[in-house]
């Protein structure tokens, strides 16, 4: 259940809001030295200002490839090259785009809820098997089932809280 919550947080970190975040560029791969390499393996990603990401490319020959990868990543970003560093300004979001991002956030949260419920179902099935095998009594089965349900409720509430905070961040102008 904790894994589902952590996965949701990572997905939300990559969800673009009006604020710059280094995790926005992490999924981008660059054609480097005949291979596809993650962007953070060909340069340093920094966020010096709230609306700007700077990529300091280590190898001067890779600057054009990195710029091309950022431009073609489908994030709506327009990188600008200055020597070995690439400046990526984050444009303002329109209201339509904010609502779209909010829907995506809801979809991610629902996937996390489903994952938590699947863990609960697996736990309940295991309890039923143990009771049938005589490993635990009916009372123990009931106690453990209540604990599993309590954990499930707690994690679902945490997911809802994370979603509400992300939605607030997305809608903030």
Has residue 16 got a pLDDT over 70? no
9 in any annotated domain: no
Domain span holding position 164: 95-171
Sign of CA dihedral 8, 10, 16, 17: positive
Residue 115 · residue 123 · CB < 8 Å: no
Residue 103 · residue 168 · CB < 8 Å: no
Residue that is last in its domain, among 39, 71, 89: 89
Residue that is last in its domain, among 60, 89, 118: 89
8 in any annotated domain: no
The helix-helix angle for 95-133 and 138-171 (nearest 10°) equals: 170
167 in any annotated domain: yes
pLDDT value, residue 113: 95
Has residue 129 got a pLDDT over 90? yes
Has residue 65 got a pLDDT over 80? yes
* Backbone φ, ψ for residue 170 (5° rounding): -65, -45
Residue 67 · residue 81 · CB < 8 Å: yes
Tell me what the pLDDT averaged over the chain comes to: 87
Same-domain status, 111 and 138: yes
**Which CATH number is 126's domain given?**
1.10.132.20
- Total domains in the chain come to 2
102 in any annotated domain: yes
Same-domain status, 136 and 80: no
Residue that is last in its domain, among 43, 67, 89: 89
Residue 118 · residue 1 · CB < 8 Å: no
Residue 86 · residue 79 · CB < 8 Å: yes
Q: How far is CA 155 from CA 8, 112, 124, 147, in A?
A: 12, 9, 16, 12
| pLDDT tens sequence across 143-170 | 999 999 999 999 999 999 999 998 888 8
Q: What is the mean pLDDT of residues 47-62?
A: 88
Residue 91 · residue 76 · CB < 8 Å: yes
């Amino acid at each position: 259940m904790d894994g589902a919550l952590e996965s949701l947080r990572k997905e939300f970190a990559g969800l673009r809001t009006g604020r710059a975040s280094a995790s926005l560029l992490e999924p981008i791969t660059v054609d480097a030295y005949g291979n596809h390499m993650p962007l953070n393996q060909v340069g340093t990603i920094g966020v010096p200002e709230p609306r700007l990401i700077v990529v300091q490319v280590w190898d001067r020959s890779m600057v054009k490839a990195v710029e091309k990868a950022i431009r073609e990543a489908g994030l709506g970003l327009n990188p600008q090259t200055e020597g070995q560093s690439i400046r990526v300004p984050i444009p303002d979001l329109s209201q339509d785009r904010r609502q779209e991002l909010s829907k995506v956030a809801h979809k991610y949260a629902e996937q996390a809820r489903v994952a938590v419920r699947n863990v609960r179902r697996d736990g309940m099935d295991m309890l039923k098997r143990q009771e049938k095998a005589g490993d635990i009594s009916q009372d123990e089965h009931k106690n453990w089932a209540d604990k599993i349900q309590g954990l499930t409720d707690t994690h679902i509430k945490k997911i809802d809280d994370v979603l509400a905070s992300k939605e607030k961040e997305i809608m903030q102008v």
